[in-house]
Amino acid sequence: MKISVTVHPNSKKPRIIKNNSNNFDVYVAQKAINNQANLATIEVLAKYFQVKKSAIKLLSGMKSKLKLFEVF
DSSP characters over 3-58: EEEEEE-S-SS-EEEEEETTEEEEE-SS-SSTTHHHHHHHHHHHHHHT--GGGEEE
Specify the DSSP class assigned to residue 1.
-
Tell me how far apart the alpha carbons of residues 5 and 38 are, in angstroms, rounded to a whole number: 11
Give me the domain span that covers residue 62: 2-71
Domain count, the chain: 1
- Tens of pLDDT, residues 4-63: 999 999 999 989 999 988 899 999 999 999 999 999 999 999 999 999 999 999 999 999
Q: What's the CATH code of the domain at 46?
A: 3.30.1200.10
Would you place residue 64 in the very low, low, confident or very high pLDDT band (cuts 50, 70, 90)? very high
For residue 43, the one-letter residue type is E
Query: pTM (2 decimals)?
Result: 0.91
